[in-house]
Amino acid sequence: MDSERATCVSCGRAYPAGRQRCGCGEPLWLETDASEYDWPSDDTTGMWRFADLLPVDPPTGLGAGVGGTPLVRTERLDAYAGCRLSVKDETRNPTGSFKDRGSAVGVAAVAERGDQWVGTVSHGNMGMSVAAHAASVGLDCLVFVPEDIPAERHSLIAQYDPELVTVRGSYGRLYEATVDSPLPVEFVNSDSPLRVAGQKTVAFEILEGFAPDAPDAIALPVSSGGNASAVWKALREARTAGLIDDIPRLYLVQAAACDPVATAYRGGADSVTPVEAGDTIAYSIANADPPSGTRALAAVRDTDGAVVSVTDDEIRDAMSVLSSRAGLCVEAASATALAGVRALSASGEVRPDERVVLVATGTGFKEGTGRATDVVSSSIDVDSFESAVRDRIEGS
Amino acid sequence: MDSERATCVSCGRAYPAGRQRCGCGEPLWLETDASEYDWPSDDTTGMWRFADLLPVDPPTGLGAGVGGTPLVRTERLDAYAGCRLSVKDETRNPTGSFKDRGSAVGVAAVAERGDQWVGTVSHGNMGMSVAAHAASVGLDCLVFVPEDIPAERHSLIAQYDPELVTVRGSYGRLYEATVDSPLPVEFVNSDSPLRVAGQKTVAFEILEGFAPDAPDAIALPVSSGGNASAVWKALREARTAGLIDDIPRLYLVQAAACDPVATAYRGGADSVTPVEAGDTIAYSIANADPPSGTRALAAVRDTDGAVVSVTDDEIRDAMSVLSSRAGLCVEAASATALAGVRALSASGEVRPDERVVLVATGTGFKEGTGRATDVVSSSIDVDSFESAVRDRIEGS
């Protein structure tokens, strides 16, 4: 595949592959020539089904089994969502989040070059993911985390045996220090070109699931803007290849307490500027200064979508509805997308007959302790089992 | 499919489908005529690829996306395991465990009949699984748990909104109260015929992954014996269908603190009798009186396999190796299987050139709080980032 160039979608400049940032300050992505591309005719499953559009060959180890996640039609959520909803269940990846797609490509690229070190700057999911993929192929891994994340997340990352380093000081400055750094470490951060290349496969899987039609819209949470960029890149490539006629609208959702992209969208701005962040249960997406925020904004404008923000109460409610009506246990950041679709339907932006795909980005299993524990319906003695069951059935 | 009869593999008696226990006391399973069966020629993915061997039609909801889990060749574990190891990653099911295969069939059967109530008796994973599948199709669900499980597990189950009832008294008696009960509730317990039918799909996926060859052995943890029975049933059906010539050896592994099946195997007994159980970190498989233990023992004898038990220290070590060398985060019960394979290799039972498949039954993500938290390699200030990275690379 032609991925020898990294380009800036904002100013149009091109660089040799490997560079992460444009001279204009915007993030680069890897150029992909999709003009001759068609749906694969073989029966390869998972993200490597789309290997012809990726900058690396299919790897061994954990990366071989990434993607191919279920696209579940969730009729029981339609009334709540206000549309015909499907869920792309990214919780089903090896480390429980969408991050595995990008980590698989980043780690495979380092292994292909014969290099030894991979790294990332993360609050949790990405650190776990990069460390797990590195462990499975024997690469060394550096994970830098802010010093204020909970110790429980340390242990989830540390099980994969990376060098786990806590960092005092600005997270934004730490991120910048890793971008195009002279160090002999490939930092596969949230919007690095290799990660964006891997993440785009989720959109190809969604589109193939609907082919020859296409969904009306795709909704996802937005943090750094890297994943939104990846989905947009896939939609552009699919349009270039002639796989879709109309591009689905891209809806991005943020937590109201930390919503720089939504703020820029509401204000009609062309670029995203940092905000003062408050606390939110959707901590995975609480990025006050998103490095690909402006590109995410461009994605929304190009696809005729929107950016909305939702309150923590709305997020909690959506999380509860996802588990109790669809059997899906997701983290708060993922439930944000459902709360956003509900808001967009309430405002008339999304219509009841439209087909919307919600990307469930990460599992809620890692956050067991954050859930309510006062949840037992009742307590019985084993001797009263049968009458207890009859009471419950008759009382329901 | 012909699943109108439930049969006893021990004494050979047959009953109408729906009955769970034989008059001889042993569990029944659903008769399957596999004599004309061949590998599917279509591209259906997941467990419903084998729908022709199942007693229900493919369902909607969460059940539609069960199975089709990766079979990962884990070369970096070969030295530790003492053989050529692959991992069948059942953590990738919707609720993070192998239980989803059986729950999908049980819940689909209730929905097909137009009934409303499904139930289970569980320490955790099975309760979550049955409740999640019921939620996704709008069935009512009863989950009975022993009163001494941690409150954190209550919350993981309760998110799917079942009637969650704690029970004082003997867990064994509770289980027996649900078997062939007159109540209008389908109890999809660990060795119910519907569950066993669903669980067998994991073995068909493993066999198809190796076709036209077959692995030399399959290793899994054993608790009630229901899952071991399901794998054995699949191997028998595959042999009947002519899909394999030699049946893989079935290795079952228990925690030493609670190992009734291993005790019976070591003693040369034909049936399993209850043991006094001690504590183990592999609590998911700590069943002192396994209802399908005798059938599991027959499976091992029929396939020329073995049952072994391993210590908690060996389990902890295997769990750490799975994450740090394969990127797999599993619960202690799953790591037990790797510790068992290592022991079997050390004793010469498994040879270095043999191909062994380990079934990783459940994710470790639900148990985050059980892991060590004193795991940070070091702490730095963001201003010293570059020199800190160089120090780590040079010191490695």
pLDDT at residue A370 is higher than 60: no
- Please identify among residues 347-366 of chain B the ones whose CB lies closer than 8 Å to any CB of chain A: 363-366
Burial code (b: 16+ CB inside 10 Å, e: under 16) for A61-87 equals bbbbbbbbbbbbbbbbbbebbbbbbbb
Q: Does A369 score more than 70 pLDDT? A: no
Q: Please state, in angstroms and rounded to a whole number, the distance separating the CA atoms of residues A234 and B190.
A: 43
Length of chain B in terms of residues written: 396
Instruction: State whether residue A326 sits within 8 Å of chain B by CB.
Output: yes
Strand order of the sheet with strand A14-16? A14-16, A5-7, A29-30
Find out whether B186 and B118 touch, Cβ atoms under 8 Å: yes
Contact B327 A94 (CB under 8 A): yes
Does residue B199 carry a pLDDT above 90?
A: yes
A355-360 and A217-221 strand pairing: parallel
Question: Under an 8 A CB cutoff, do B372 and A158 touch?
Answer: yes
pLDDT digits (tens, 9 = 90+) for A135-186: 999 999 999 998 888 888 889 999 999 999 999 988 888 888 999 989 999 9
Which candidate from B46, B89, B157 shows the least CB-CB separation from A65? B89
Phi, psi of A10 (to 5 degrees): -85, -50
**What does pLDDT average to over chain A?**
94
Nearest-angstrom CA–CA distance, A45 and B49: 14
CB count in 10 Å sphere of residue B246 = 11
Cβ contacts below 8 Å, chain A against chain B, sum to 293
Interface membership of A384 toward B (CB under 8 Å):
no
- pLDDT above 60: residue B176: yes
pLDDT reported for residue B372: 62
pLDDT of residue A380: 84
pLDDT of residue B123: 86
pLDDT of amino acid A357:
98
CA B37 to chain A, closest CA, distance in angstroms equals: 21
pLDDT bin (cut points 50, 70, 90) of residue B375 is: confident
pLDDT at residue B205, rounded to an integer:
98
Nearest C-alpha in A relative to B174:
A382
CA angle, A190 as apex, A186 and A191 as ends, to 5°? 85
Instruction: Provide the pLDDT for residue B100.
Output: 98
Q: What are the chain A neighbours of B392 within 8 Å (beta carbons)?
A: 142, 163, 165
Q: Would the CB atoms of B323 and A368 count as touching at under 8 Å?
A: no
Tokens of B65: 């996306």
SS3 string, chain B, reads: CCCCEEECCCCCCEEEECECECCCCCECEECCCCCCCCCCCCCCCCHHHHHHHCCCCCCCHHHHHCCCCCEEECHHHHHHHCCEEEEEEHHHCCCCECHHHHHHHHHHHHHHHCCCEEEEECCCHHHHHHHHHHHHHCCEEEEEEECCCCHHHHHHHHCCCCEEEEEECCHHHHHHHHCCCCCCCEECCCCCHHHHHHHCHHHHHHHHHHCCCCCCEEEEECCCCHHHHHHHHHHHHHHHHCCCCCCCEEEEEEECCCCHHHHHHHCCCCCCCCCCCCCCCCHHHCCCCCCCHHHHHHHHHHCCCEEEEECHHHHHHHHHHHHHHHCCCECHHHHHHHHHHHHHHHCCCCCCCCEEEEEECEECHHHHHHCCCCCCCEEEEHHHHHHHHHHHHHHC
Residues of A in contact with B135 (CB under 8 A): 323-327
Residue B369 has pLDDT above 50, yes or no: no
Nearest CA in chain A to B156: A368
Query: A210 and chain B: CB distance < 8 Å anywhere?
Result: no
Query: Nearest-CA neighbor of A47 among A111, A2, A90, A96?
Result: A90
Tell whether A148 lies on the interface with B, counting CB pairs under 8 A.
Answer: no
The half-sphere exposure of A113 on its side-chain side, counting CA atoms within 13 A, is: 15
Residue of chain B minimizing CA distance to A151 = B373
User: Is A329 close to B155, i.e. CB distance below 8 A?
Assistant: no
pLDDT of residue A4: 84
Q: Which of B147, B158, B364 sits opposite A375 (nearest CB)?
A: B158
Give kind and range of the element (H or E) at residue A88.
strand A84-89
Task: Please report the sign of the dihedral spanned by the C-alpha atoms of residue B331, residue B336, residue B341, residue B343.
Answer: positive
Q: How confident is the model at residue A367 (pLDDT cuts 50, 70, 90)?
A: confident
**pLDDT by residue (tens digit) across A286-300?**
999 999 999 999 999
B28 touches chain A (CB under 8 A): no
Q: Where are the alpha helices (DSSP H) in chain A?
A: 78-81, 99-113, 125-137, 151-158, 171-178, 193-199, 201-210, 226-240, 260-266, 293-302, 312-326, 332-346, 385-394
Helix axes A171-178, B385-395, angle to 10 degrees: 60
Q: How far is A213 from chain B (nearest CA, A)?
A: 20
What average pLDDT is seen over chain B? 94
B334's CB contacts (< 8 A; 6+ apart) are B91, B221, B322, B359, B360, B361, B362, B364
More confident residue, A214 or B181: A214
pLDDT tens digits for A313-327?
999 999 999 999 999
Q: Which residue of chain B is at minimal alpha-carbon distance from A133? A: B327
Please report the pLDDT score of residue B169 as a whole number.
86
Evaluate the CA torsion angle A217, A353, B61, A317 in order and state its sign: positive
Please answer yes or no on whether B76 and A155 come within 8 Å at the CB atom: no
Specify the residue for token string 């059967």.
B109
Is residue B116 within 8 Å of residue B140, measured between CB atoms?
yes
pLDDT tens for each residue of A248-288: 999 999 999 999 999 999 999 999 999 999 999 999 999 99
pTM over 0.90, yes/no:
yes
Distance CA B366, CA B118 (A): 24
What pLDDT was estimated at residue B385? 82
Contact call for B95 and A329, based on CB within 8 A: yes
**What percent of chain A is modeled with pLDDT above 70?**
97
Mean pLDDT lowest among B90-99, B350-359, B372-381: B372-381
pLDDT bucket at B55, cuts 50 / 70 / 90: very high
B302-330 pLDDT, tens digit per residue, is 999 999 999 999 999 999 999 999 999 99
